[in-house]
Structure 1
Amino acid sequence: MSENGQNKNMENGGGDAEEKPFSAKVRHHVMEPTHLGEMDKPDGRAVVTGPCGDTDEFSLRIFRDRIREIRFRTTGCFFTIAACDALATIAEGRTIDEGLRITQES
């Protein structure tokens, strides 16, 4: 990942001893993101920049009103990678309307 040791911290379950360790799901989404990458000729694309300055780009392939494939790229930290990969995992296979209704509680 980055040269500042983010990967090492993730492998050990978290950062400093005072921090709570990350869940296995978060570690999995960071260490082995299944939706990270680019997509040639997507049917849709969205780019958003969050309050911390991270820019996330999502590319989607749609078939019969369903999200058949989704990929993302980000300039963000491992928290952003985990969030983007989790969102892509939840959204893939859903209808467009269902995808638009995804919330933090999903």
Structure 2
Amino acid sequence: MEQHHTHDVEHDLQEAREAGLSDEFYAHALTPQNVGMLPNPDGHAMPKGACGDYIELFLRIDDDLITDARFMPEGCLNTVACGSAVTSLAKGASLREAAEIDAERIEGLLGGLHKDHRHCAVLAAATLKAAIRDYLKKRSEPWKRPYAK
């Protein structure tokens, strides 16, 4: 049975304060953008990070343009902030532009991350790439879509 972990928000906030993180970080961590699910997404992914956190990502794609991106996080404030940042960067981007969003760009939007949490930006970028791959696979095999879980 998978062990569910919880995060102590007060501890995360104290760590962020000590690291001197930016207002942008706090905005995305405490009032994240694009939280939620998209029914029948065009692209979907939910890889788990080394720390056990994950970002479930949903994409709506129209004519190779990401028209909507939503996420459901499970993890610390850094994971929440990175999910918010990656969806903010992806919305309105072409698939080619979105595929180039990397951890450094996510961290840049947040004004930096504590060095111990840079892996959260790596997870967010990897999740976006996995959701794009999921879309491309579905597009190449459209007959499977009605049977997808």
TM-score bracket relative to the smaller structure? 0.7 to 0.9
Q: In the alignment, is the contact (CA less than 8 A) between 1:15 and 1:21 conserved in 2?
A: no
Q: In structure 2, what residue type is equivalent to 1:47?
A: M
Q: Give 4+ residue runs of structure 1 displaced > 4 Å after superposition.
A: none
Over the matched positions of the two proteins, sequence identity in percent amounts to 31
Equivalences for residues 13-92 of structure 1 within 5 A: 14-15=13-14, 19-92=18-91
Aligned CA-pair RMSD: 2.1
Q: Deviation of residue 21 (structure 1)?
A: 2.7
Following TM superposition, by how much is the alpha carbon of 1:22 offset from its aligned partner in structure 2, in angstroms? 2.1
- Kindly state the Cα deviation for residue 43 of structure 1 after the two structures are TM-superposed: 1.0
Q: Which has the higher helix share?
A: 2
| Structure 1: stretches of 5+ with no match in the other structure | none
**Structure 1 length normalisation: TM-score?**
0.82
Report the count of equivalent residues: 99
Aligned equivalents of 1:43, 1:90: Cα separation in 2: 18
Aligned to 2:14, the other structure's residue is in SS state coil
TM-score normalised over the length of structure 2:
0.60
How far off its partner does 1:20 sit? 2.4
2:29 aligns to what SS in structure 1? helix
Q: Distance in 2 between matches of 1:3 and 1:75?
A: 9
Higher strand share: 1
